[in-house]
A and B are shown apart, each in its own frame.
Chain A
Amino acid sequence: MAVMGTTWTGEAVAQPLRFPELLRSNQSMVFSVALRFLRDRAAAEEIAQDVFLELHRHLHELDSEAHVTNWLRKVTGRRCIDAARRRKLRMAVTLDDAPEPAAAPTNADPLRDRRLRQLVASLPERARMVVILRYQEEMMPEEIAEALDLPVRTVKSQLTRALAVLRTKFSRLSGGERHG
């Protein structure tokens, strides 16, 4: 449970990982993954708390900040998928649920962002987590595969399929906006 630091002479020394700093630097990541996945702030906060409590218990098994970040992504991903399955929290977000747009899409468009998040939330659990880890956490398919214990081939195909679905639904929506 140590990261490398340097002394004033430039000598590399091991420094212990400190839980408060790890919590501070990763809280937004963990909370956001859970929030984008569950679309429920209270449930996302609960998952994030549980993940950090688990980190507190397992900190001695982790040896670097990068290791901790990967561990957090992995545990958050699995817990979110489990929670969604257990509580049947899969949001049945359909295109009909999406609010009518107030304006055409521009560069910064909260409504468009919200709609895209709703479309992501309508994906099956695993595909949803793959998309979130790819586009929120900018993880490579290999990293996602490791985090979710899936073959890389599966991650790539889920990503391709999910993107195709999202594109189709989004363009249908955007087309509807233009013509409706």
Chain B
Amino acid sequence: MDDFERLLEQSLRREAAPFGFEQRVMALTARRRVAWQKWTAIAAMAVLTAGAGWRYEEVRRERAAGESAKAQLETALRITGAKLNKVHQTIDSMNEGF
């Protein structure tokens, strides 16, 4: 290294960071951590809400299917009952003839 390079080295020597720089960076990292935690909580809430909504919808659909099956069964039983009544009546009327 010659004299000029030594002058260059001297002129480019390090300088202290501004007063309070360290504290400002630490405050920013803390703020970022809080923001990250907040967003994590929001994301977790969103996932839970979506999960609960999906489960509610599934139960509602199952219940609706059950209700529909029950109604169909009731209709079938009613029709069957009516048919049986008719058969009974026919048999009764035939018996009355003898």
Contacts and interface: CB of A to CB of B under 8 A. Distances in A.
A180 to B, nearest CB: 20
Main secondary structure of the interface of A (DSSP, over half): helix
A51 B22 CA distance: 13
A20 B26 contact: yes
Interface residues of B, dominant DSSP: helix
A132 B11 CA distance: 10
Contacts of B18: 31, 41, 45
A64 to B, nearest CB: 21
Contact of B15 (A28, A116, A131, A170): A28
A112 B4 contact: no
Contacts of B94: none
Interface in A34-58: 35-36, 41, 45, 48-49, 52-53, 56
Interface string B8-34: 111111111110011011101100100
Q: Give the interface centre of B12, B18, B24 by most chain A CB atoms within 10 Å.
A: B12
A41 to B, nearest CB: 7
B11 A28 contact: no
Interface residues of A, number: 34
Interface residues of B, number: 22
Contact of A48 (B4, B9, B17): B17
Contacts of A27: 17, 21-22, 25
Contact of B14 (A28, A116, A131): A28
B96 interface: no
A116 B25 contact: no
A146 B18 CA distance: 29
B92 interface: no
A120 B21 CA distance: 26
Nearest to B12: A136
Contacts of B29: 19, 52-53, 56
Interface of A: 19-20, 23-24, 27-32, 35-36, 41, 45, 48-49, 52-53, 56, 112-114, 116-117, 120, 131-132, 135-136, 138, 163, 166-167, 170
